[in-house]
């Protein structure tokens, strides 16, 4: 187990409505910069909300994209 995997609980256990970019990237097996590019270019499979100037990725959409049952 590496250091980054111990920071995150299994996606099935996540109950909060939104994820930070780093969390979403971890669960989607992408780099955070990839998700930021999706947000900027509006060309990714999902789009984040902007809350207080920060990107908030829908946990439900992340689960659906990752193939995790809700």
Digitized pLDDT (tens) for each residue of the chain, 70 residues in all: 555 557 999 999 999 999 999 999 999 999 999 999 999 999 999 999 999 999 999 999 999 999 997 7
What pLDDT is attached to residue 5? 57
Cα 62–chain centre separation: 6
Give the closest residue to 59 by CA, choosing from 17, 20, 28, 25: 17
Local structure of residue 31 (DSSP, 8 states): -
At residue 50, the pLDDT reads 96
pTM score, whole prediction: 0.87
């Amino acid at each position: 187990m590496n250091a980054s995997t111990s920071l995150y609980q299994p996606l099935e256990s996540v109950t909060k409505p939104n994820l930070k970019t780093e969390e979403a990237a971890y669960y989607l097996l992408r780099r955070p910069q990839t998700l930021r590019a999706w947000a900027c270019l509006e060309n990714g499979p999902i789009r984040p909300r902007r809350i207080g100037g920060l990107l908030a990725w829908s946990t439900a959409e992340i689960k659906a994209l990752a193939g995790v049952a809700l």
